């Protein structure tokens, strides 16, 4: 059967029905097959057309659909994890689903002796923006709730550079291929289990906690890593009900319920990333500074377009605002920046790690490097402007005012959940393909002029 027909079959049939199960397993079996082209196509369809669509809905019913689907995938012919799950006591999909229902039920602080916990490990969400927006607040709340425990972040190194900056939090490196074949994504679970076992070696189950913030490493909580008594799962996709809270705030509210700590009380925003003690990015005219990123994390639907981006940079130039423009990740985003620089009417230069200050008369400096390093420039800025991206969450965490143009959102709730959280003002401007770009630019100009650029501040950068 064609991959497209299997995807349609999953969508059209009720979870748990024989037809749903047959289509789910057949799609997974194709993703596990030895034909690399078919395996790649099936993997892409499985995640981009089903799993991501369900997750982006932020609906409890879609969470249940995902769990029913993925539990069948994990036991499909060719699965690299089915036999291991059997040795852990989960020989059938329904047994794994029963566990998933248990761990997603409300957990209270009753019976938890926070003084006895010696180790708390928080799993990475893998994407940079999610680790800044969700995982970092959980790490900091864990450090506050369990002051006698060693706190550890388990995830990629580049994510650790963002999430544990300025805090005494250990890092255990583990990778996950966001574009890898299904079989390789599932095998990451074996590496995770080994890493966790090494991390908690010598500790009793009541002496450690593994915090899972809907991590891809566990396929959003379905794959167990430790006894459930030592595992706390923040199921972010149904958290908050129909409210408009951001994921960062919901994560802190969950900590308050799970651990009984006031420090993570309802409504608090994640703490600011501590500013570094560094040199001043200033120029003789004391012009305000805007950090700008047109990065979209590979999702072209988040872009407004060339005209908006060129006009935004020109708007800042005409207002006498200096601009730091990030080159982003990958060839596509670099190509976009090259086009913007070519069309820019002002003077352009390049930033370096040992930047001595702002070059005289230069209007725009481009930055090629890591997102963590670009974060230092967002910390120096008077305002950050960009799309829904990791850079926006990082700017908010640096207490920089944010203007985020949110295009391509599948729903209002998706936009609410992924709104950056931070101590400084965050302005989210929704945009659809039929919206007026000129009106959007006027709104950006108004917010920047009234709230930020009229009072430039001295900020420090690394």
How confident is the model over 40-62, as pLDDT tens digits?
999 999 999 999 999 999 999 99
pLDDT band (50, 70, 90) for residue 109: low
> Cα–Cα distance between 99 and 224 in angstroms, integer?
9
pLDDT of the residue at 189? 97
Number of Cβ atoms within 10 Å of the Cβ of 449: 13
| Residue 190 confidence (pLDDT) above 60 | yes
Reported as a single tens digit per residue, the pLDDT across 320-338 is 999 999 999 889 999 999 9
pLDDT of the residue at 431? 95
pLDDT band (50, 70, 90) for residue 355: confident
Rounded to an integer, the average pLDDT of 296-308 is: 92
pLDDT of the residue at 108? 62
What does the CA dihedral 150, 155, 156, 157 come to, rounded to 10 degrees? -10
Which DSSP symbol is given to 127?
S
Would you say 247 and 134 are in contact if contact means Cβ atoms under 8 Å apart?
Answer: yes
Min mean pLDDT across 115-119, 144-148, 376-380, 445-449 is at 376-380
Would you tell me the crossing angle of helices 36-44 and 18-31 to the nearest 10 degrees? 130
pLDDT of the residue at 215? 98
CA distances to 89, 134, 258 from 138, rounded to whole Å, are: 30, 7, 11
pLDDT of the residue at 401? 94
Q: Pick the more confident residue, 247 or 459.
A: 247
Would you say 145 and 156 are in contact if contact means Cβ atoms under 8 Å apart?
Answer: no
CA distances to 66, 207, 234, 244, 413 from 240, rounded to whole Å, are: 18, 30, 11, 7, 10
- The pTM score is 0.91
Rounded to an integer, the average pLDDT of 423-432 is: 93
Min mean pLDDT across 280-284, 309-313, 327-331, 425-429 is at 280-284
Q: What is residue 303's three-state secondary structure? A: coil
Give the number of C-alpha atoms closer than 13 A to the C-alpha of residue 352, restricted to the C-beta side.
6
Min mean pLDDT across 185-194, 199-208, 280-289, 312-321 is at 280-289
């Amino acid at each position: 059967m064609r991959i497209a027909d299997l995807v349609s079959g999953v969508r059209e049939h009720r979870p748990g029905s024989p037809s749903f199960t047959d289509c789910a397993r057949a799609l997974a079996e194709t993703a596990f097959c030895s034909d690399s082209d078919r395996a790649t196509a099936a993997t892409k369809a499985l995640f981009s057309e089903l799993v991501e669509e369900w997750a982006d809905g932020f609906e409890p019913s879609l969470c249940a659909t995902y769990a029913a689907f993925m539990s069948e995938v994990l036991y499909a012919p060719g699965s690299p994890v089915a036999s291991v799950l059997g040795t852990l006591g989960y020989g059938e999909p329904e047994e794994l689903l029963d566990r998933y229902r248990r761990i997603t039920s409300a957990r209270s602080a009753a019976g938890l002796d926070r003084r006895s916990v010696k180790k708390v490990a928080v799993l990475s969400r893998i994407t940079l923006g999610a680790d800044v927006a969700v995982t970092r607040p959980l790490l900091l709340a864990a450090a506050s709730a369990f002051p006698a425990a060693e706190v550890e972040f388990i995830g990629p190194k580049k994510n650790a550079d963002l999430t544990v900056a300025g805090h005494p939090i250990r890092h255990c490196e583990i990778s996950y291929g966001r574009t890898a074949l299904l079989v390789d994504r599932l095998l990451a679970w074996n590496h995770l289990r080994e890493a966790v076992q090494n991390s908690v070696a010598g500790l009793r189950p009541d002496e450690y906690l593994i915090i899972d913030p809907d991590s891809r490493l566990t396929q959003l909580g379905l794959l167990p890593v430790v006894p459930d008594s030592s595992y706390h799962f923040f199921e972010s996709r149904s958290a908050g009900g129909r409210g408009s809270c951001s994921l960062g705030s919901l994560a802190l509210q969950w900590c308050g319920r799970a651990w009984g700590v006031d420090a993570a009380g309802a409504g608090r925003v994640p703490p600011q990333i501590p500013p570094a003690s560094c040199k001043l990015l200033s120029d003789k005219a004391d012009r305000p500074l805007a950090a700008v990123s047109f990065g979209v994390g590979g999702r072209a639907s988040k872009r407004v377009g060339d005209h908006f981006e060129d006009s935004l940079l020109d708007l800042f130039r005409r207002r006498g605002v200096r601009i730091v423009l990030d080159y982003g990740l990958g060839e596509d985003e670099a190509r976009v920046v090259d086009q913007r620089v070519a069309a820019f009417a002002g003077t352009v230069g390049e930033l370096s790690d040992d930047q001595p200050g702002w070059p005289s008369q230069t209007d725009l400096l481009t930055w090629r490097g890591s997102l963590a390093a670009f974060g230092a420039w967002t910390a120096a800025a008077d305002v950050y402007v960009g799309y829904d991206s990791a850079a926006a969450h990082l700017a908010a965490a640096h207490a920089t005012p944010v203007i985020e143009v949110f295009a391509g959102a599948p729903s209002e709730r998706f936009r609410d959940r992924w709104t950056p959280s931070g101590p400084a003002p965050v302005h989210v401007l929704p945009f659809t393909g039929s919206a007026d770009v000129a009106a959007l630019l006027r709104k950006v100009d108004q917010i920047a002029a009234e709230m930020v650029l009229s009072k430039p501040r001295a900020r420090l950068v690394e």
